[in-house]
Amino acid sequence: MTKRTLNQSVEEAVNEYLKMMGDQPVTDLYEMVLAEVEPSLLKCVKKYSRGNQSQMALILGINRATLRKKLKKYRLL
């Protein structure tokens, strides 16, 4: 099995999406990608840190207030 970086996986997924869209207009791609990736990222880090929000914020490089907003946004609190 070939190891792929996260960057390669994201690039492949975005290219596939754009290919699938064909001639249809594509808008708000940045927000769409964030909405797809961010909840999974938060879930993984939450599990890894056993729900410790201080540790989660440190791992993610964001402050705890921002983390709490994101957790609420995705109903992960």
Contact between 63 and 56 under an 8 Å Cβ cutoff? The reply is no
> Nearest Cα to 60, choosing from 32, 73, 41?
41
Contacts of 39 by beta carbon, 8 Å cutoff, 6+ apart: 74, 76
Q: How far apart are CA 20 and CA 29, in angstroms?
A: 14
Domain boundaries, the chain: 50-77
Q: For residue 14, give the amino acid letter.
A: V
User: Which pTM was predicted?
Assistant: 0.79
C-alpha distances (whole Å) from 42 to each of 12, 13, 26 are 22, 20, 26
**pLDDT tens digits, one per residue of 17-70:** 999 999 999 999 999 999 999 999 999 999 999 999 999 999 999 999 999 999
